[in-house]
Structure 1
Amino acid sequence: MRYLFNLSLVLLIFLFSHVAFGQSAPAANPPIYIAFLWHMHQPIYWPYESVVQTDANGRFPFSVTDIHNQRLGPYNSWPKNAVQKGINANMPHFGAQVSFSGSLVENLNALEANGNGNFSNWKSHWNSIKNQNTSLGHPRMDMVGFGYFHPLMGLINYTDIRKQIQRHKQIFSTNFPGAYSKGIFPPENAFAERMIPALVDEGLNWVLIDNVHFDRAAKGYPFNTGGNIYEPNKADVLNSDPNDWIQLQNIWAPTKISAAWGHRPHFVEYVDPNTGQKYRMIAVPASRYLGNEDGRGGFGALSYEAVMSQFEPYNTDPRHPILIVLHHDGDNYGGGTDSYYGSNFQNFVNWLAANPSRFVCTTIEDYLQMFPPDANSVIHVEPGSWSGADNGDPEFKKWLGDPGGDGYSPDINSWGVLTAAQNFVHTAEQVDPNSQNTQSAWKYLLVSESSDYWYWDGSLGGIWDSNPTRGANQAVSFASQVIANATDNTPPTIFIPQREPYNPGGTEWNQQMPSDFKVWTYAYDVSGLSSVKLYYRKDLDGVNSTASTDNEIYAGGPEVGEWVSVEMTGTSKISMTNPAPTVKAKEYSATVAGFSNKLIDYYVEATDSRGNVARTPIQHVWVGAHSGGGGGNNGFVIDGNLDEGAVSVAQNNGTNLYLGWKEGKLYLATESAQNKGKDVFIVISDSLRPPKAAMWAKSGMVSEWSLFLGNESTNNWSGWFDASSSPANAAGSVVEGLLDVQAEFGRVPGKLYIAVLHYSTPDGGVLENQVPAGNGNGNLEPDEFYEFDFSLTGVKDLPLSSELPGSYGLAQNFPNPFNPSTKIQYSVQEEGKVSLVVYDLLGRVAATLVDGYKPAGTYEVNFDASALSGGVYFYSVSVNGFRETKKMILNK
Structure 2
Amino acid sequence: FAYDVSGISSVTLYVREDNDGTNPLASTQNETYAGGAEVGNWTALPMNQRAFPAGNVYNNPEINFSVMPTYIADQYWYELTGYDDVLLDYYVEAIDTQGNVKKSPIQHVYVGTGGTSGGAAVSWDPQNPAVGDTLTITYDLNLGVLNNATNPVYIHIGHSGWTQVITPDPAMTYDGVNDVWTYDYVIPGTATTVDFVFNDGAGNWDNNGGADWHVSVTGGGGGSPPFVIDGTLDAGAPLVSSCGTDLYASYDGTYLYMAAPVAAGQDRFFFVNDAYPTGLQLAPWNKAGQTAPHDLLLGNEESNNWAGWFDALGSGTTTGVDQASGAYLEALVEVGPALGGSPGSVWIAHALYDSPDAGALMSQVPCGNANGDLENTEWIEVSAPVSSTPFGDLGRHISVSILSGNPSPRLVRARVFSEEQAIRRAEVFDVRGQLVETLYRGTPQADLTLGWDARSHAAGVYFLRIQGDKEVVTQRVVLLP
Question: TM-score by structure 1 length?
Answer: 0.27
Bigger fraction of residues in strand: 2
TM-score where L is the length of structure 2 = 0.47
Normalized per residue, the structure richer in helix is: 1
